[in-house]
Amino acid sequence: MPLIQVSMFEGTSADDKRLLARRLTEAVQSTLNVSIEAISVVIYEVPPEDWAVAGKSLG
């Protein structure tokens, strides 16, 4: 059972997150040839101040 985990900044609309989940599910289904019922998507929203790149906070 594939589990797709996405971390992204806060603020993306619910509609856009639904679309992302649907398209990721479709891509995994067609690539791995598994049923869509077996695929889970979890989206974690992170505030920019809790995200760092190269040791520097993005917030």
> Which residues are known catalytic residues?
2
Rounded CA-CA distance 9/45 in Å is: 5
What dihedral do alpha carbons 32, 40, 50, 53 form, nearest 10°? Answer: 0
Distance CA 37, CA 55 (A): 39
